[in-house]
Structure 1
Amino acid sequence: MTSVIAGLSFLLALATGQYTPDWESLDARPLPSWYDEAKVGIFMHLGPYAVPGVESEWFWLQATRNESEGDQKCAKYLEDYFPPKFVYQDFGPMLTMDFFDTDFISDLVVDSGAKYLVFTSKHHDGYCNWPSTYSYGWNSMAVGPRRDVLGELKSSFEKRHPGFHFGVYYSLFEWFNPIYLKDKENNFTTREYALNKMQPEMKELINKYTPDVLWVDGEWEAESEYFGSTDFLAWLYNESPTKTNIVTNDRWGQETRLKHGGYYCGPDRFSPGTLQDHKWENAMTVDRISWGHRRDINIEEIFSMDELVSEITKTVSCGGNILINIGPTKEGTIIPVFQERLRSIGAWLKVNGEAIYGSKPWTTQNDTLASNVWYTKKESDVYGIVLGWPNDDVILLGAPKVEQGQTKITMLGFSGTLDFTTEPEGLAVQFPSLGKVVQGCSAGCQWGYVLKFEGLAKDDDFKVDTGIRV
């Protein structure tokens, strides 16, 4: 009888659009369609850790422990360059953001071809990039730039790029918050931090900035019950001002990754390389090492454009979104190499975005003969994204099956149709000369060349659950 009542309650919640604070109900919420259509987002980590700019955004924790060479590097940096009583909080006033130009940043993000931004509202150090009522003296209005960083940035997007999706990152826990540490000492049988700091602060964040993405993190020390995640999500989906559009990830407790929440982001830089049965996201960094700005970064530690286009292609082909991170400096600027990478991504997407935005996985993700070819689909058209130019201007493909007299193959950014022949081994597609392609579409065609197949022989598409239930 109890199970019957529970089932009826669940069906009633779905029928009325009201979600109950349990994972069965919350996980059934349809993912707003804009997210799957967007495919590409930009991530930004900015906080006091950008002031030392050493090792990573985990500088504070690393400087206090001695578990790795990176930890020792952070501790030595403090010892060598700062007085003995200097503490991490002393970096706060140095986070000046003198040149934090929100219009420049919003334009750069849009120029990258991204359709959404996730900006750090609060990392594990507890510093808030808005005047949080629950973070007295440790927020961007009280110390450092003395600005409402989130508010100014969101206003710029609203003014200059209406319809763009603005999102926020929020760390559930704080390394050295004494209230959290007391709960932790009590094996999380007390919940003072979660109830009196975290939950009301997140609600303030949502009510004030109405983000379209809430990207949570810092969940691995306690289960979702401690954080009150299901209660919060029920409020978010039922009552919050952004209940219709907002999407969330899966980091709501140490047991929830790849199991509960909205889309799955799994571990950092999650890139499974195969089709997944739930909508997912690859959150990755242009800097191979850190999410926050590093002042000692070297060019070989930056992903090349070949690598970035490859990551975008593989992610989208396998049904994922990609969230590409850069770390602004303590002055609020974006270093030139990050600007160059974002604008180059935008140039590529301007030519080839037809194969990315709004696409779906095809029957085959990675070609059965050419391992450098990945597929997407939109309505009846199939796109083969070729990573690199083929030898002798010919590529042999195993997945597409042509329909005699019906199939047409073109290349995005190049006018005219491409010749092809059916060989015993597969489909041989003749590329035009590389010089003509580059001349026709400039830098935007480099790194990945998109073949568009129209009128292929019918095939039963693999029906992937992208988490979009309407």
Structure 2
Amino acid sequence: MFIIKSIRFITICFLFLLLVACSQKKDTLTSENSEKIAKTEKYEPTWESLAKHQATPEWLQDAKLGIYFHWGVYTVPAYHSEWYPFYMYRDGHPHGSNVAKWHKEKYGKDFNYHDFVPMFKAEKFDAKDWAKLFKDAGAKFSGPVAQHHDGFALWDSKVNPWNAKAKGPKKDITGLLEKEIKANGMKFITTFHHARNLQRNANNPEKWGAYDSHFAYDPNSATSSKDSIISKLYGNMPADQFHKYWYAQLKEVIDQYSPDIVWFDSWLNAIPEQYRQEFAAYYLNEAKKKNQEVAIVMKQHDMPHNMSMLDIEQGGKKDLSESPWMTDVTISRGSWSYTDNLKYKDATLVLRNMIDVWSKNGTVLLNVSPTKEGVIPTEQRDILLEIGGWLSKYGEAVYNTRPFIKYGFGTSVAKAGHFGGQSATTKYSANDVRFTMSKDKKTLYMFFLGHPEKGRKLDMKSFGLHRYPTPSPIKNITVLGTETKVQFEQTENELFLTIPDVDMNDMATIFKFELE
């Protein structure tokens, strides 16, 4: 009996130890594979499930600069702006009162927007040249406005008959660019503005010219056509049909071109929540299959901020942001698309405003404006290349950096932006300073947004920097791009710098702080 009890005791102990070992092994496996499981878990079309997506992948936080372009059928008249199709059917509109009149005088009262399509030939478009230009400008991602409000798609589409492969250019613009952009080591972005293409007021005559539909419903024009093809360009269809059409086009681009970023203009909130969720789940699940780290960028509150990146048009945040964000800005003054006599900002103004964005945890999406033939004008190229030249020399202070605990200080006052935040045309000077920091926190970069006065001694305490100490003591300070050392005195509560007598960059001068 004693022997039997002993055997039972030993057996129970053995089983207990085996159970503990299995449990420990299971815990180890669970710990080791938790990240793998998270990556393979399928996203469901619910905000709760989609919130598991990292809104801004690290590569996008590192990238800092992307380039896209407004280019389409609206560049044929090259008049007023990319909103030409909106105003040409709204005679007397206060913000484009002369567009309808100008259109009738130049093309005649029976000439409709779809009549421009054969005139959009893009005969000089060169995807290889564009991709090289964007790379030389310092962009880490680039791509097209795949579809603007006007309903014309710049890809080879089976869903949308009004596309660049079937009509107009007879070229797969998006496909050609995707190939060249990725070949140049950049990520690929596609932007969508077609949420407001639906005519939402066909049954409300008092709202036929309303702002929330890009094309005005007008029984006397092609915009109200019941033709199954023409109506798709003008968005004249039942709402439920349009929402499926909206989603199907996104799915098509995801399947054919695997964009790294899908970016949305305003009015995305006009698309029912169900379709926004289905799009996001499909895109993120497809990205997982392809081992892609992707981002969804939107405006206002069109999607939850915990699974998408916020974009602020033509401006930026007024202060440092805990979450990464984006701004879309254009190098032109006025229209986003090419128009005759288009005016441009100078490279210095653009760059200094971008530095302000970068210091506040932001990323810039910079717009250019090609002609209807597919030419990026010399003036625009020069601006891009000047910015790219600066970045090629000083890029270590921009790419792969993170914000400092204080974005900066200065005397310039930024005006309010039209879409929230501040204006993207603030005039900065050497009295304005911005900071970035390397990811390992061993290097701090101090940007003077101009040419600081040589010999001037700066008391950083007067700028409040003494309240924001560096993570570790300063070992050395140099003028980035030179071997020139900056004299400094640092105590526990004070920091003094003396601007050295050396040639410095007029666009922005950077002091590099090496920390112990």
Fold shared per TM-score above 0.5: yes
Offset at residue 60 of structure 1 (A): 0.2
User: Partner of 2:242 in structure 1?
Assistant: 193
SS of 2:333's partner is coil
User: Partner of 1:391 in structure 2?
Assistant: 453
User: Partner of 1:205 in structure 2?
Assistant: 253
If you compute each CA radius of gyration, which structure gives the higher value, 1 or 2? 2
Offset at residue 83 of structure 1 (A): 2.2
Q: Does 1:263 align with 2:305?
A: no
1:377 to 403, 419, 437: 437
C-alpha distance in 2 between matches for 1:314 and 1:395: 24
User: Partner of 1:169 in structure 2?
Assistant: 191
Which segments of 5 or more consecutive residues in structure 1 lack a partner in the other structure? Answer: 1-10, 185-190, 438-444, 457-470
User: Partner of 2:285 in structure 1?
Assistant: 238
1:142 to 159, 166, 176: 166
The alpha-carbon distance between structure 1 residues 334 and 426, as it changes in their structure 2 partners (threshold 3 A), is farther
Offset at residue 403 of structure 1 (A): 10
Offset at residue 12 of structure 1 (A): 13
Q: Does 1:27 align with 2:51?
A: yes
Deviations 1:284-333 (A, max 9, x none): 111121211111213xxx22222111111111100010111011110100
Offset at residue 201 of structure 1 (A): 1.5
Deviations 1:171-220 (A, max 9, x none): 24213485755445xxxxxx21112x111211111111111111122525
The alpha-carbon distance between structure 1 residues 124 and 409, as it changes in their structure 2 partners (threshold 3 A), is same
Q: Does 1:152 align with 2:184?
A: no
What letter matches 2:256 in structure 1?
Answer: K
The alpha-carbon distance between structure 1 residues 319 and 157, as it changes in their structure 2 partners (threshold 3 A), is same
Offset at residue 66 of structure 1 (A): 4.6
User: Partner of 2:31 in structure 1?
Assistant: none
Return 348-357 or 168-177, whichever deviates more.
168-177
Query: What TM-score, normalized to structure 1?
Result: 0.82
SS of 1:72's partner is coil
The answer to whether the 8 Å contact 2:122/2:374 transfers is yes
The answer to whether the 8 Å contact 2:451/2:506 transfers is no
User: Partner of 1:459 in structure 2?
Assistant: none
The answer to whether the 8 Å contact 1:394/1:431 transfers is yes
Alignment of 1:271-420 (within 5 A): 271-298=316-343, 302-367=344-409, 372-378=432-438, 379=440, 380-394=442-456, 396=458, 397=460, 398=463, 399=465, 401=469, 406-420=474-488
Taking only aligned residues, the RMSD between alpha carbons, in angstroms, comes to 2.8
User: Partner of 2:131 in structure 1?
Assistant: 106
SS of 2:97's partner is helix
What letter matches 2:495 in structure 1?
Answer: L
C-alpha distance in 1 between matches for 2:473 and 2:87: 64
Offset at residue 423 of structure 1 (A): 9.7
Offset at residue 146 of structure 1 (A): 0.9
The answer to whether the 8 Å contact 1:215/1:248 transfers is yes
C-alpha distance in 2 between matches for 1:73 and 1:26: 45
What letter matches 2:354 in structure 1?
Answer: I
What letter matches 2:515 in structure 1?
Answer: G
The alpha-carbon distance between structure 1 residues 112 and 32, as it changes in their structure 2 partners (threshold 3 A), is same
C-alpha distance in 1 between matches for 2:112 and 2:308: 38
Deviations 1:145-180 (A, max 9, x none): 111111112222344x1x311111122421348575
Total equivalences in the alignment = 421
Query: What TM-score, normalized to structure 2?
Result: 0.75
Return 164-173 or 122-131, whichever deviates more.
164-173
Offset at residue 343 of structure 1 (A): 0.3
User: Partner of 2:5 in structure 1?
Assistant: none
